[in-house]
Amino acid sequence: MDRQYISRLNSTYAVASFRLAWLCAAAVCSAPLHCAEAGIAPPALERRAALTGMVRQDCGSCHGMTLKGGLGPALTPAALTDRPAESLVVTILSGRPGTAMPPWRNFLSADEAAWIVDQLQRGVLDEK
Amino acid sequence: MKNELGRVINAIVLCLGCLGCLGPGLPAARAEVGVVVERASGSVQLVDNDTRAALARITGLGDLSHASLVYSKDARHVFVFGRDGGLSKIDLLARKTVKRTLQAGNSIGGAISRDGRLVAVANYEPGGVKIFDAETLEQLAEIPSTYGSEGKRSKVVGIADASGSRFVFSLFDADEIWVADLSEPRAPRVRKFRNIGRQPYDALITQDGRHYIAGLFGEDGLALLDMNNLDGGVRRILGGYGQGEEKLPVYKMPHLRGWAMAGDLAFLPAIGRHEVLVVDRRDWRAVATIPVHGQPVFVMARPDGRQVWVNYAFPLNDTVEVIDVAALKLVKSLKPGKTVLHMEFTAPGDEVWISARDDNKLVVYDTKSFARLAEFPADSPSGIFFAWRARIMGL
C-alpha cells in the first residue's frame, strides 16, 4: 500500500517538480544577493508561484493561510528568524515524527525547501 | 439550465417575498438558502440552491481559512467563525454583518446551544472556549483549556452542542474531553475526562445527541462518550484499526463534523490510510473497511442514508467518491475540479454542491444520475452550508 502510494505520488508530483526544478536551475533569484549568500539554487518563476500557493494553502491548512498558526505553530518571521535555517529545512523535508508535521520530501526538493525557509524567515510568503 | 434573467427575477421575487411576508421572529430563510465561504477574500456568498442563484456577497469577515459557521434556530442569522478569532453574526435577510468581534487570536470553530441562546467558540490561541450571547455577542464566560501542572493551555477542537445547555469539546494537546454545562451561562460547570486517547483532532456528535466521538491523531481508534451516561466515561472504539501497519503521512486532518450516520452504521475516516471505516452504532463493532482513493477528509451521508460521499486530502484532492451503503462498496468516482474542499447536500438530497477551491468554482451534481448540473464562480470556495442545518443538532 505504502509503496503503491509513493509511486503514484512520484509519477504525478515529484517527477514533475524535479523536472521543472532541473530545467530551471539557471533561473534568476528574486533577491540575487540574498540567495547567493545562502547558497540556495532558487526555483524558477512558475515554480515559485506554485510553491507560494502551496505554502499558503497546503501548509496553511495546519499553519493558517496567513501562517499565523493553527494546529501547527506560526511560521512568521518573528517565530522563525532566529532559528537555524538548516534545521527548519530538515523539519520540512522529513517532518517531525510523533507530531502532526508530515514530511514533504515527495513534493519538495532540498533547494525548494531552503527557498521556502528563506521566504518564511523574511516574511515574504505570508503577505496576502 | 435556467437563464440569467430567470435567475435575477427569481432572486428578486425571493427577496421581495421574504421581505413581504416575514416579520421579526419568523423564520427568515428557506431551507434552500445557503452560505458559501470564500476563504481567500474573507467573504461569504449567499446562494439559493433551488434557483441556483447567487444572491449576495458579504465581505470583511477576516481570515476565513478553515472557517465554519452555524445557523440560528430560525435560520435568519449565521455565526461565522474565522481563523483569526473573528466571530461575525450575519443577518441573511438584510444580507449584512450585524455584529462582529475579534474574540481570540486563533480559532477553529464553534457551536450554537440547542435553545439557540448561546454561541460557543473553540480557540487555539489562547486555548479554550468562550461563550457568547447569541443575540448581542456579549461574552458571558470563558473556559480556559488549562491542563497539566504548568498551567499550559491546549488547543481546543471538535466542539459540539449537547442537550441541556451543554457543550462538549476535545483538548488536542491534553488528550482530554470536557463537557461544559451552561445552565447558568456566566458560571459554567465543567466535567473533565482525562486520558481519552492521544491527540484528539476533531469530533462529532450524533444527531440524536447521544454519542460524542473524537478522532485520534496520535493512535488508531476513536474516543466515544455516551452523553446520556457520563458516569460510564470515555471508551475506545475501533482501537488499533490499522493493525499496527504504519500510517501514511497526513497532509490534512479529516473533519468529523458533518458525520455520516446511515441508519445504524457510522462511516468514519481512517487517519493516515486510504480507508473509510464502518462501525455499527448498536455495539460499536467494526463492520467493514472500505478501500478508497485517498485519505478521507469529509465522509458525508446523503440525507436518506443510502449513499456516502467522500473527498480526500492533498495531494489526491481532485476526486470525490460515492459509497453505496447497502453494498458497502464504491459505486462512483468523480472529478469535480481542482482541490475539492467540501460537499453539501440539498435538504432532499437530490443534489450535492461541491467546492473546488483552485478552480474557483462550485459544482452541482445530481446524486442519482451523477450528472453535472451546474457550475458557479466563487472565490477560493471552501465550506458550503445550507440553511436546513438550522434544524439539525450537532451542525
CATH code where residue A103 lies:
1.10.760.10
CA proximity to B230, closest of B131, B283, B171, B162 = B162
- What pTM does this model have? 0.87
| A19 located within any domain | yes
Interface test with B, best of A59, A67, A71 (most B CBs within 10 A): A71
Tens place of pLDDT for every residue, chain B, 395 residues?
A: 444 444 444 444 344 334 333 333 334 456 688 999 998 789 999 999 888 888 999 999 998 888 899 999 999 999 999 989 999 999 999 999 999 999 998 888 999 999 999 999 999 999 999 999 999 999 999 999 999 999 999 999 999 999 999 999 999 999 999 999 999 999 999 999 999 999 999 999 998 899 999 999 999 899 999 999 999 999 999 988 877 778 899 999 999 987 788 889 999 999 999 999 999 999 999 999 999 999 999 999 999 999 999 999 999 999 999 999 999 999 999 999 999 999 999 999 999 999 999 999 999 999 999 999 999 899 999 999 999 999 888 88
What's B315's DSSP letter? T
CB pair distance less than 8 Å for A64 and B63:
yes
Q: What is the domain range of residue A98?
A: 14-121
Element (H, E) at A62: helix A60-63
| A128 located within any domain | no
Number of domains in chain A: 1
Interface of A with B (CB under 8 A): 1-2, 5, 9, 12-13, 53, 57-58, 60-62, 64-66, 68-71, 95, 100, 102-103, 107
Q: Kindly give the pairing relationship between strand B156-162 and strand B166-171.
A: antiparallel
Q: Which residues of A touch B357 (CB under 8 A)?
A: 57
Where do we find the cell 514530511?
Answer: A103
All cell numbers assigned to B128: 479554550
| A7 located within any domain | no
| A74 located within any domain | yes
The separation between the first and the last C-alpha atoms of chain A, rounded to the nearest angstrom, is 39
Q: Encode burial over B109-148: b for 16+ CB neighbours within 10 A, e otherwise.
A: bbbbbbebbbbbbbbbbbbbbbbbebeebeebbebebebe
| A90 located within any domain | yes
| A23 located within any domain | yes
| A115 located within any domain | yes
CB pair distance less than 8 Å for A103 and B249:
yes
| A33 located within any domain | yes
Q: Is B383 exposed, middle or buried (0-12, 13-18, 19+ CB in 10 A)?
A: buried
CB pair distance less than 8 Å for A100 and B253:
yes
What's B72's DSSP letter? -
Interchain contact B130–A (C-beta under 8 A): no
